[in-house]
Amino acid sequence: MADPLSTVADLLAPVFADIAGAPADPVVRPSDRADAQVNGALPLAKQLDVNPREIAQRVVDSGVLADVCSEVEIAGPGFVNLTFDDAFLARQLAAVAADERLGVAPAPTAKRVVVDYSAPNVAKEMHVGHLRSTVIGDALVRMHEFLGHTVLRENHIGDWGRPFGMLIEHLLDIGEDVAAEGMQQGDLDGFYKAANAKFNDDEAFQARARDRVVKLQSYDPETIELWQRLVAMSNDYFNRVYGKLDVLLTDDDLMGESEYQSLMPTVYDELVAADLVTESDGAEVVFPPGFTNRDNEPLPLIVKSSAGAFMYATSDLACVYDRVQRLGADLMLYVVGAPQAQHFQMVFAVARMAGWLTDEVEAVHVPFGSILGDDRKMLRSRSGDAVKLVELLDEAVDRAAAAVAEKNPDLDGDAQAAVARTIGIGAVKYADLSTDRIKDYVFDWDRMLAFDGNTAPYLQYAHARLCSIFRRAGVDRNEVRGGAMALDTAQERQLAQRLLAYPSVLDDTVATYSPHKLCTYLFDLAQDITGFYEHCPVLRDDVDDDTRASRLVLCDVSASTLEHALGLLGIAAPSEM
Ligand code: ARG
């Protein structure tokens, strides 16, 4: 049930192998001039030193495409233009419509995939970078799971280190209730700043904070308990954000920096034993080959500071160690902002030198750009502080509620609120996912909430509109699945081919960890649906029964594909809005 391009590639593979005397790629691609084109004759002709049109002719003469193409034509220097047979497309699509997986096969080899994402810092506001990591990571998790991989979600929160001395002392000063109250409201930065101010101004406090760090690092039970409460308060807040965002993360996925403390001495000892550690400016470092600064001097990865403390890099080395050895990862994704690119490249390089990262394991930093405000600078709140995520998400829902009330005043209150939530949160997520992740993008309420353009509301609306056809017809969608199809118009053919391309788009999206590719596909799909909707009546009286039945299948599989793909992005598609 592969998409037509792969069907053609499979049929042509033996023909090309025969001509080449060895396997040769027929290079089947979508085309502007026909439905598809075969481009493989040109490179093969070069290799064999023959005229490419001769090879193209052999492709035509082979007759292997008779069942799938109504036209096979040589063009230009040796391309072969293909027009798919309508009945073939209809058969393929009918099979997809009856398939729960919409034609998407599970990956040939199931991997153990570790996804490191979200990773906010305790007692600090989650910033919009954490939003991006959370949303992109969540989409990648869902896609990998759907393809049959075992996914291990790792939320590497920043929950350890020197600042916890002052944070715990501040917690003791203001009392737990006050602290919890502030953090529930998302004022994590307020807590942090107050602690920091005292640390700078008050020597006695500074001394207490220092003692407290020592106690924390020696796992003094009372200190650990205080630390745990502080972490829990932060996590309560993070969980509220995750709940609003509708992502898969739970407390079971927490794997903060603190969890790697006991492993760091081992990691360090092994580096020393492997003779990789050298001294540099009083610190203990590893120099991975190939990394240099602007003056072309080798760049060190610091594993132990001059004060004898393990570093962020050391905890990431421990992470690699743990994920490979204990979790048995085949693939590790780190969904972290672009500024940490060099950090990860160096960590991976050192892990390879130490033998923890072998050729069988793939470690990939999945970087992303920044979210900008209207002024094209990093997004800030009006007061100039970091934007509070909870407030941002609530505003999205409020704005969506206003739009829904205007668009569909008949929807009852509860339904309206639910739809507003789905649209508002969907809009924020989709705005993030639909731009190439490596680029910065401007946060723009009006654009992301618009009901036209490449937005979540536009796609959700396309889905709801298809669902409404079934409501009006009084037809159960399950009943139409498996029915025969006929593709009579250009719009139906176009839509059918788009739907059949879903598996290969998903493959490409996952292979490049680029959710925006799936978004672009969804936007194209929604436009094809609109074209179909405008030209191909379904329920009108003058439509004959067979045509109506076929078009209902097309509506059903279109709606299912929209809903499914949005689902992989972590976005819901209401059936009414
Ligand atoms: N907590 C870090 C930050 O906010 C991100 C951690 C990313 N994951 C990792 N394994 N280093 O920048």
| Per-residue pLDDT reduced to its tens digit, 426-480 | 999 999 999 999 999 999 999 999 999 999 999 999 999 999 999 999 999 999 9
315 and 287 together in one domain: yes
Domain annotation covers residue 417: no
Question: How far apart are alpha carbons 509 and 225 in whole angstroms?
Answer: 44
* pLDDT band with cut points at 50, 70 and 90 for residue 181: confident
Q: Which two tokens stand for residue 333?
A: 């994704």
Q: What is the 3-state secondary structure (H, E, C) of 271-302?
A: HHHCCCEEEECCEEEECCCCCECCCCCECCEE
User: Which among 469, 393, 404, 465 has a CA at the least distance from the CA of 432?
Assistant: 393
Q: Which residue has the tokens 């994920």?
A: 323
Q: H-type helices in 28-127, by residue range?
A: 41-48, 52-62, 86-97
Question: Among the three residues 365, 386, 418, which one is the final residue of a domain in this structure?
Answer: 365
At 380 the pLDDT is 81
Residue nearest to ligand 1 atom 11, measured at CA: 316
Question: Among the three residues 247, 282, 304, which one is the final residue of a domain in this structure?
Answer: 247
Look at residue 495 and tell me whether its pLDDT is greater than 90.
yes
240 and 184 together in one domain: yes
Domain annotation covers residue 330: yes
What stretch of H or E contains 38? strand 36-38
Look at residue 148 and tell me whether its pLDDT is greater than 90.
yes
At 180 the pLDDT is 87
Question: By percentage, how much of the chain surpasses pLDDT 90?
Answer: 90
Burial class (CB in 10 A: 0-12, 13-18, 19+), 22: exposed
Q: Count the domains in the chain.
A: 3
Task: Give me the mean pLDDT over the 480-504 stretch.
Answer: 95
pLDDT (tens digit per residue) in 522-562? 999 999 999 999 999 999 999 999 999 999 999 999 999 99
CB atoms within 10 A of CB 240: 16
CATH number of the domain where residue 310 is located: 3.40.50.620
Ligand 1 center from residue 312 Cα (angstroms) = 9
Residue nearest to ligand 1 atom 9, measured at CA: 156
Residue numbers of the domain that contains 298: 112-121+129-157+257-365
Q: Which two tokens stand for residue 305?
A: 């500071």
What stretch of H or E contains 372? strand 371-372
Residue bearing the bigger pLDDT, 565 or 3? 565
261 and 360 together in one domain: yes
At 227 the pLDDT is 97
Ligand 1 center from residue 494 Cα (angstroms) = 44
Task: Give me the mean pLDDT over the 489-502 stretch.
Answer: 97
204 and 304 together in one domain: no
At 226 the pLDDT is 95
Average pLDDT, the chain: 95
Look at residue 186 and tell me whether its pLDDT is greater than 80.
no
Domain annotation covers residue 171: yes
Please state whether beta strands 79-84 and 69-75 pair in parallel, antiparallel, or not at all (unpaired).
Answer: antiparallel
pLDDT (tens digit per residue) in 398-429? 999 999 999 888 888 899 999 999 999 999 99
Ligand 1 center from residue 351 Cα (angstroms) = 17
* pLDDT band with cut points at 50, 70 and 90 for residue 385: confident
144 and 263 together in one domain: yes
Q: What is the pTM of this model?
A: 0.95
Question: Cβ(336) to ligand 1 under 6 A?
Answer: yes
144 and 280 together in one domain: yes
Question: Cβ(516) to ligand 1 under 6 A?
Answer: no
189 and 266 together in one domain: no
* pLDDT band with cut points at 50, 70 and 90 for residue 383: confident
146 and 290 together in one domain: yes
Question: Cβ(332) to ligand 1 under 6 A?
Answer: no
Question: How far apart are alpha carbons 402 and 136 in whole angstroms?
Answer: 27
Question: How far apart are alpha carbons 205 and 345 in whole angstroms?
Answer: 39
Question: Among the three residues 365, 400, 416, which one is the final residue of a domain in this structure?
Answer: 365
Residue bearing the bigger pLDDT, 1 or 279? 279
Residue 428: what residue type? V
Question: Cβ(318) to ligand 1 under 6 A?
Answer: no
Question: Cβ(259) to ligand 1 under 6 A?
Answer: no
| Residue 4, helix vs strand vs coil | helix
Residue 388's φ and ψ, nearest 5 degrees, are -80, 125
Domain annotation covers residue 11: yes
pLDDT (tens digit per residue) in 88-108? 999 999 999 999 999 999 999
144 and 190 together in one domain: no
Residue nearest to ligand 1 atom 5, measured at CA: 119
Buried b (16+ CB within 10 A) or exposed e, 420-440: bbbbbbbbbbbbbbbbebeee
